Structure 1
Amino acid sequence: MEPHLRTKGSHFYAIGLSYKKADAEVRGHFSLNDEAKSLVLQEAKDDGIEGLLVMSTCNRTELYGFAQHPFQLIKLLCKHTVGTVEEFEQVAYVHKNSKAVHHLFRVGTGLDSQILGDFEIIGQLKSGFRASKKIQMINPFLERLTNAVIQASKRIKNETEISSGATSVSFAAVQYILARVPYVSDKNILLFGTGKIGRNTCENLVKHTKNDHIVLINRTRDKAEKVAGKFNLIVKDYDTLKDEVNKADVLIVATGAQQPTITKEIINTDKSLLILDLSVPKNVHSNVSEFPNVTLVHMDDLSKITDDTLQRRRVHIPKAEVIIEEVKSEFDSWLETRKFAPTIKALRNKLASFKDAEINLQRKKMADFNEEQATIISDRIIQKITNHFASHLKDEDTASEESIELIQKVFQIQNK
């Protein structure tokens, strides 16, 4: 039992699923766009949940919050996605109290990322925090915890080399293309969609391949032109998609569609075509693999590329874990203090009431009573007594639950 992690009968939970047990298709069923995240937060607020943090990336969807039972959070997630409770239970994890805290530290510091040391997740955490704060769904516990995780992430970035050597899904995608497509600067490369990983892949391709005729197609031309302006790409209309796919040597798909947008019906070419699907949910139908000239690679496959960079990163895990423990112990100390702070406050008030009663009595009894001096001395004694009690409760050898109970009993006080 961890009373300091409980509030109004609720416990702190982390519920979710990630690339570890859920493939891209299942993760797609539970992905939350910005609108769905807002709906989850609003409904949680209406249901009386006092603190909730929502994160949904291509690799994971997680809810961190207070509930009387984790099913409250699971039900919220399933209601606002196309996933079912049964499907969730097959691939999910539920962490409670200190285990939930530990999990958020690992996620936020990149130790739980699909590609070790990928710090993109900390941006997602900050964005989730801002969204919750905006509608007053961040309580003091979640505020302090999020800040602690951000602090740990910064320290790991600065004090270890766990993120050394550029690597991410987009980096792995470019490495894959460079390794398998000869004369890539002359090839026809088509990017369909303006998803973030696709944009990053394109930026890296422009940088590393010196290919100056990469084509970008998006359902909304405006978005395509904004992205193209940054990276010097050629924008084509959506209705040319089929023609451009059949001209391409490499097709990168990064759309946010819920159903596959590229199927075997679109393909009508005998030349070799490499398709990289960087979308969650998957946006390329597996039936394209029926063509012998087509190679389909999904981001989950790219993430398994264990190059020298990732091997070197693993050496730094122990140091990162030490940093997490240091920051987490500071957070735990704050939690402990929060646990007994109401008792110390009630004790101080009780001693102050003794002081007030005694000063009133002495004022009546003593003709030359110096109330100002008596007040100063009494307040100093009260401060020293409460400091002693606080030190006792902070001591790790103290059984604080029993001590709090004894203080309340002896001084006849109740936490307000």
Structure 2
Amino acid sequence: MKNYNLSRHSSFFAVGLSYKKAEADVRGKFSLDVPKIDAIIQDAKAKGIEGLLAISTCNRTELFAFAQHPYQLIKLLCDHTQGSVEEFQDVAYIYKNHDAIDHLFRVGTGLDSQILGDFEIISQIKQSFSRSKKHGMTNPFLERLCNSVIQASKRIKNETEISTGATSVSFASVKYILNEVQEVSKKNILLFGTGKIGRNTCENLVKHTDNSHITLINRTKEKAEAIAGKFKLIVKDYGDLQTEIRKTDILVVATGAQLPTVSKSLLHTKKPLLILDLSIPKNVSDDVRELPNVSLVHLDELSQITDNNLKKRKAYIPKARAIIEDVKTDFVKWLETRKFAPVINALKAKLMTMKDEELDFQSKKLQDFNEEQAALVSERIIQKITKQFANHLRTSEMDTEDSLALIQRVFQLELQEK
């Protein structure tokens, strides 16, 4: 693919880190909640960065934006998180222009997910775009790109079976419980935290375990009650956490806290306890492993558990990539059209001026001159000429910038300033 400049003064970058190189502890340092995302967007706007998309999930944290240098975005991320530039550089990736576009397509369609075919990321992209739009930090490029990724994601979901089986952390956690715990329906399950992963896990637990002994606890009790009402579950106060842990067999932790909320000192249970920590940063201290009756599993370990359908899902990767290329080709065509549209419009205006001058001259010179018919023929010729130039720019193997410059010089075009 040609290495087009996407902006006259800056390039489009993706900077980030993911599960591929960054351990959960490191990802935790760079994780972003909604207030942090808002702060980054506002800071970027103040610094003159054009358009920004911030994505933060349990598997990755990424910034997509137009900037003069990727370090502007790296510093922005480090200024608003617990991580340092040095830590980021050890595990980071940076993509520029069309490589950055490719990366967003892979992420948004589940091909870059920790669990292949995980489509939960697409809702994160939608929410991130909405937050940027709210702060006036989007542009037609970002909007069209996000819509194209969403379109590719829908097509892959509808036209392939890449999303069959355990395709999310929440489903993988329930699958793990079903595989590891006998007679799950007789066990007490406590879900601490009702964020997105918590809600999805709760839904999967109800669907797949037929368990009427699920208790919810959240710092904000109203949120837990809203979810519990939907599934007819028990809700307890945050102050009852220690007591409820003592009663439970399986503890699922999915809070958005920035520091561990469950530690060894909180656990006083004599029966076997399985803890699943689905949080980034980690919300369960590693010291709980020192207790002889406690088993702790973190989401990174869950994501490594392959299910029976994985091989089948992998077979659909080529078809998914073909769909991405199809949608991406349309996006690049749109991008190119936006770039050369001002030149084509200026060319058309110049030719129309030449036509008007010539018709005026001929009408004065020729007595029976049919100005209406001459105008019609001339405008059809102008339409064909400009279309020919547009097709050349769209399909030429030459550098588009050189072609645009040549057309401007030959016809002495003056482009309208934006």
Instruction: Please give the TM-score of this superposition, normalised by the length of structure 1.
Output: 0.94
1:11-410 matches, cutoff 5 A? 11-410=11-410
1:52 aligned counterpart, secondary structure: strand
2:309 aligned counterpart, secondary structure: helix
Let me know the Cα RMSD of the aligned residues: 1.9
Q: Distance in 2 between matches of 1:154 and 1:385?
A: 39
Offset at residue 378 of structure 1 (A): 2.2
Q: Distance in 2 between matches of 1:248 and 1:30?
A: 32
1:343 aligned counterpart, secondary structure: helix
Contact 1:190 1:250 in 2 (8 A): yes
Offset at residue 132 of structure 1 (A): 2.0
Letter in 2 for 1:139: N
Q: Distance in 2 between matches of 1:281 and 1:249?
A: 24
Q: Distance in 1 between matches of 2:404 and 2:219?
A: 63
Q: Distance in 1 between matches of 2:392 and 2:53?
A: 34
Letter in 1 for 2:200: N
Offset at residue 301 of structure 1 (A): 0.5
Letter in 1 for 2:372: E
1:51 aligned counterpart, secondary structure: strand
Structure 1: 5+ residue stretches without partners:
none
Offset at residue 279 of structure 1 (A): 1.0
Q: Distance in 1 between matches of 2:360 and 2:4?
A: 38
Q: Distance in 2 between matches of 1:207 and 1:377?
A: 69
Count of paired positions:
416
- Greater alpha carbon shift after TM alignment, 200-209 vs 227-236: 200-209
Letter in 2 for 1:212: S
Letter in 2 for 1:118: D
- Greater alpha carbon shift after TM alignment, 146-155 vs 347-356: 347-356
Contact 1:4 1:338 in 2 (8 A): no
Q: Distance in 1 between matches of 2:393 and 2:239?
A: 70
Offset at residue 369 of structure 1 (A): 4.2
Structure 1 residues 4 and 399: alpha-carbon distance in aligned structure 2, compared to 1, 3 A threshold: closer
- Greater alpha carbon shift after TM alignment, 120-129 vs 3-12: 3-12
Q: Distance in 2 between matches of 1:180 and 1:3?
A: 50
2:136 aligned counterpart, secondary structure: coil
Offset at residue 282 of structure 1 (A): 0.5
Q: Distance in 2 between matches of 1:285 and 1:399?
A: 56
Q: Distance in 1 between matches of 2:255 and 2:296?
A: 16
Offset at residue 205 of structure 1 (A): 2.0
Offset at residue 196 of structure 1 (A): 2.0
Q: Distance in 2 between matches of 1:8 and 1:2?
A: 16
Q: Distance in 2 between matches of 1:378 and 1:40?
A: 54
Offset at residue 268 of structure 1 (A): 1.9
Offset at residue 300 of structure 1 (A): 0.7
Q: Distance in 2 between matches of 1:281 and 1:195?
A: 14
Q: Distance in 2 between matches of 1:367 and 1:178?
A: 93
Q: Distance in 2 between matches of 1:329 and 1:224?
A: 44
Letter in 2 for 1:274: L
Q: Distance in 2 between matches of 1:400 and 1:214?
A: 61
Q: Distance in 2 between matches of 1:218 and 1:403?
A: 61
Offset at residue 376 of structure 1 (A): 2.1
Structure 1 residues 397 and 5: alpha-carbon distance in aligned structure 2, compared to 1, 3 A threshold: closer
Q: Distance in 2 between matches of 1:278 and 1:392?
A: 53
1:31 aligned counterpart, secondary structure: coil
Q: Distance in 1 between matches of 2:159 and 2:404?
A: 39
Structure 1 residues 399 and 243: alpha-carbon distance in aligned structure 2, compared to 1, 3 A threshold: closer
Q: Distance in 1 between matches of 2:208 and 2:390?
A: 60
